[in-house]
Amino acid sequence: MAFVTQHQIQKFREDGFLVLEHFFTAEECDSMRNQIQKIVAEMEVPPHCRTEFSTKEDEQLQAQGSSDYFLTSGDKIRFFFEKGVLDEKGNFLIPKEKSVSKIGHALHAYDPVFKQITHSSKVQELGRKLGLERPVVVQSMYIFKQPGIGGEVTPHQDATFLHTEPLGRVLGFWIALEDATQENGCLWFIPGSHTSGITRRMVRAPSGTSTCVEFVGSEPGYDDSQFIPLPISKGGLILIHGEVVHKSELNSSESSRHVFTFHVMEAKDTSWSKENWLQPTPELPFPSLYT
């Protein structure tokens, strides 16, 4: 593994992100891709669960909020779809393996391959280098970013969705399982944007309302020119501070951009918001990153 230097950790603290090329081997990437192929091949999607995943706020509230399929996916392996891949009866218009947007949110807990990667010794070592004392894994996702239809992810901060007190306790690990390029939808960041807090939160709505989640506050407008692209090759890892502003564009290319990503929280002296959509359950308390 590429040894992480103090200089790199310092750079992470300044920028709010850090690119570590070739953190995982091609073999490790392929093992994750092969495993997800098996999971998709066995995927049975109950028609009422065919929610399409969207990051536009109103669609997000409508598609996710009206659906406790999303809300109760924190301790399960569930499927979310790209827009326009299902007809009004909920049947696939394209092959199902090309229709999945993401799979979440507990691959790290229930799938042996993803569990092994999440708790791999190099990830644990990186956590220790970053000074994490009691890191726990809160969620994981496999993101497909399908060719031609992989939707954009609008500028956001992860802490909008995964809120802690104090802030600054959530960290994303984003692993490129294929080369991520500007053409197929690599991540873009505003360097240093992790230092001014958050202005928007997605919270559980009071029971009895039509949606299960709602947004409080608003996302400021960001200047496109502030973003820098971070292309990264297969096996690369991007560390993402919970408050850094980032986005990805539509995938208009012919190639997919598969990613495995998981979020870690420093549990020491931290409280996880009871209003977050994602909650630990008796079946799955947040597992320790360190084994």
Please give the full DSSP string across 164-175, using - where no structure is assigned.
Answer: EESSS-EEEEEE
Residue 160, pLDDT score: 96
Q: Do residues 183 and 253 touch, judged by C-beta distance below 8 A?
A: yes
| pLDDT grade for 227, boundaries at 50, 70 and 90 | very high
pLDDT at 28 over 90: yes
Residue 65, pLDDT score: 43
Residue 67, pLDDT score: 67
Q: Do residues 170 and 265 touch, judged by C-beta distance below 8 A?
A: yes
Q: Nearest-5° angle of CA 60, CA 152, CA 69?
A: 35
Tens-digit pLDDT profile for residues 233-291: 999 999 999 999 999 999 999 999 999 999 999 999 999 999 999 999 999 999 999 99
Tens-digit pLDDT profile for residues 70-119: 888 999 999 888 888 877 777 788 888 898 999 999 999 999 999 999 99
Bridge partner residues of 200 (DSSP): 217
Local structure of 249: helix, strand or coil: coil
pLDDT at 66 over 50: no
Q: Do residues 104 and 39 touch, judged by C-beta distance below 8 A?
A: no
Bridge partner residues of 17 (DSSP): 240
Q: What length does the chain have? A: 291
Domain ranges of the chain: 6-272
Q: Nearest-5° angle of CA 47, CA 114, CA 91?
A: 15
Tens-digit pLDDT profile for residues 161-209: 999 999 999 999 999 999 999 999 999 999 999 999 999 999 998 877 7
232 Cβ partners below 8 Å, 6+ apart?
19, 21, 176, 179, 180, 186, 238
Highest CATH level, class, for 6-272: mainly beta
pLDDT, average across residues 114-135: 98
CA 198 – CA 156 distance, rounded (Å): 9
Strands 259-266 and 135-143, by their bridges, are: antiparallel
pLDDT at 60 over 70: no
Bridge partner residues of 180 (DSSP): 232
| pLDDT grade for 230, boundaries at 50, 70 and 90 | very high
pLDDT, average across residues 26-38: 98
Pairwise pLDDT comparison (57 vs 223), residue with the higher score: 223
Residue 82, pLDDT score: 85
The distance from CA 8 to its chain's CA centroid, rounded to whole angstroms, is 23
Residue 44, pLDDT score: 78
Pairwise pLDDT comparison (85 vs 216), residue with the higher score: 216
Tens-digit pLDDT profile for residues 181-192: 999 999 999 999
Task: Give the least confident one: 25-39, 55-69, 89-103, 229-243.
Answer: 55-69
pLDDT at 219 over 90: no
Longest Cα separation, the chain: 55
Residue 2, pLDDT score: 56
Q: Which of 187, 189, 218 is nearest to 202 (CA)?
A: 218
The phi and psi torsions of 36 (rounded to 5 degrees) equal -70, -30
Residue 125, pLDDT score: 97
pLDDT, average across residues 199-221: 87
Residue 80, pLDDT score: 87
